[in-house]
């Protein structure tokens, strides 16, 4: 009985992990990307290189403890190669100037199970020298737009950028068409905003925004967007006229950012 009590107490002992677990979640376009990994720290050790903790040209699990897991809620494109909706494990082979990143369908937390498997995707990615020393392994999203971004892998002074794209124009246009079967001015505005920001179809963006701005109570940011789209279409004279209207609305609303934006259109 005494031994049982002692073992029960031991199994309930909780201590800080040397490489704590981390979950990173990011939306890109309509797609959610979630990364689950463990974050080791350098703690005075050399990490990459001939005498490092992780020798060059050997397989690494991109983290500590378990296999790193990446989950996509929709199909994504990495280096223009598709990865379907689902979860994946990633392994890396660090090199001095290039890294190879290998993707596998996620089947186990044990990263060793993937070593003998054939990856469904291999990427050759250049090594970038970080100006800032990164003590703890960091996976984060940067350079995010409405249809893409980069997953940055940073440790020590090593940075590798993994390009990720989403190709959702068809689905988004379908969403827009459905919404515009009975749209409000905000539906028109948001549709125009997307098409303008992604430079997908400026003529259609102008039609949508003008459906919104023809309303007598169209707010300053909608009228400003119309001026910006006209400017990008090369309709400079008309863009300035609309910007003057948007300037007055922006001044009335007390929004200095939009005041400056419209002044830049009027007086480039």
Domain with residue 237: its CATH number is 1.25.40.10
What is the predicted pLDDT for the residue at 11?
60
Give the residue with greater pLDDT, 50 vs 199. 199
Residue 9 lies in a domain: no
Do 153 and 207 belong together in one domain? no
Do 191 and 129 belong together in one domain? no
Give the least confident one: 67-71, 97-101, 169-173: 169-173
Residue 8 lies in a domain: no
What is the predicted pLDDT for the residue at 176?
85
Per residue in 2-30, pLDDT (tens digit) is: 444 455 555 677 777 778 888 999 999 99
Give the least confident one: 50-64, 90-104, 200-214: 50-64
How many structural domains is the chain composed of?
2
Give the residue with greater pLDDT, 169 vs 197. 197
- Spatial CA neighbour of 159 closest among 111, 78, 97, 103: 97
Does the pTM surpass 0.85? The reply is no
Do 95 and 211 belong together in one domain? no
Q: Is pLDDT at 192 greater than 90 in this prediction? A: yes
What is the predicted pLDDT for the residue at 14?
78
Do 141 and 221 belong together in one domain? no
Q: Which domain holds residue 148?
A: 17-165
Average pLDDT of the chain is 91
Do 82 and 152 belong together in one domain? yes
- Which are the contacts of 82, defined by CB distance < 8 A and separation ≥ 6? 75, 76
What is the predicted pLDDT for the residue at 10?
52
Do 262 and 199 belong together in one domain? yes
Do 202 and 250 belong together in one domain? yes
């Amino acid at each position: 009985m005494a031994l049982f009590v002692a073992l029960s107490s031991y199994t309930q002992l909780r201590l800080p992990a040397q490489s704590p677990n981390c979950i990173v979640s990011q939306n890109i376009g309509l797609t959610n990307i979630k990364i689950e990994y463990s974050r080791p720290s350098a703690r005075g050790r050399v990490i990459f290189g001939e005498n490092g903790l992780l020798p060059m040209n050997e397989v690494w699990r991109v983290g500590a403890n378990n296999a790193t897991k990446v989950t996509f809620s929709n199909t994504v494109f990495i280096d223009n190669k598709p990865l379907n909706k689902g979860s994946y494990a990633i392994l890396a082979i660090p090199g001095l100037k290039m890294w190879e990143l290998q993707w596998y369908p996620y089947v186990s937390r044990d990263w060793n199970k993937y070593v003998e498997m054939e990856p469904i995707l291999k990427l050759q990615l250049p090594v970038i020298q970080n100006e800032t020393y990164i003590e703890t392994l960091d996976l984060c999203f940067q350079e995010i737009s409405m249809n893409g971004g980069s997953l940055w892998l940073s440790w020590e002074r090593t940075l590798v950028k993994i390009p990720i794209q989403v190709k959702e124009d068809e689905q988004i246009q379908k969403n827009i068409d459905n919404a515009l079967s009975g749209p409000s001015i905000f539906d028109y505005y948001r549709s125009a905003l997307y098409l303008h920001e992604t430079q997908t179809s400026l003529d259609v963006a102008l039609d949508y925004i003008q459906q919104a701005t023809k309303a007598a109570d169209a707010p300053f940011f909608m009228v400003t967007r119309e001026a910006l789209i006209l400017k990008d279409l090369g309709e400079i004279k008309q863009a300035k006229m609309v910007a003057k209207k948007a300037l007055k609305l922006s001044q009335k609303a007390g929004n200095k950012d939009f005041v400056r934006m419209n002044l830049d259109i009027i007086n480039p």
